[in-house]
Amino acid sequence: AVGPTRIQFLEYAAPFSIPAWAEWFARPLDERKRQLADPDVRRRLDAAAHAPEVGRLSALANWAAFEVGDTVAPVNAGYAGRRVGEIAAEQGRDPFEVVASIALADDLRTGFWLLNTPAPAYTHFKADILRDPRVLVGGSDAGAHLDRMCSSRYPTRFLAEFTRDTDAMTVEEVVHLMTGAPAEYLGLRDRGRLQIGAHADIVVFDPATVDAERIEKVADLPGGAERLTSGSRGVHHVFVNGSEIITDGRPTGATPGSVLRSSELRP
* Residues β-bridged to residue 204: 237
Q: What is the pLDDT of residues 165-194, one digit of tens each?
A: 999 999 999 999 999 999 999 999 999 999
- Percentage of the chain surpassing pLDDT 70? 96
Angle of helix 95-105 relative to helix 84-91, nearest 10 degrees?
100
How far is residue 171 from each of residues 57, 84, 107, 151, measured CA to CA in Å?
34, 34, 45, 20
Least confident of 8-17, 39-48, 99-108, 160-169: 8-17
Q: What is the pTM of this model?
A: 0.81
Contact by Cβ (8 Å): 33, 108: yes
Task: Judge whether residue 39 has pLDDT over 80.
Answer: yes
Q: Is the pLDDT of residue 76 over 80?
A: yes
Tens of pLDDT, residues 84-113: 999 999 999 999 999 999 999 999 999 999
Interatomic CA distance for residues 154 and 189, integer angstroms: 24
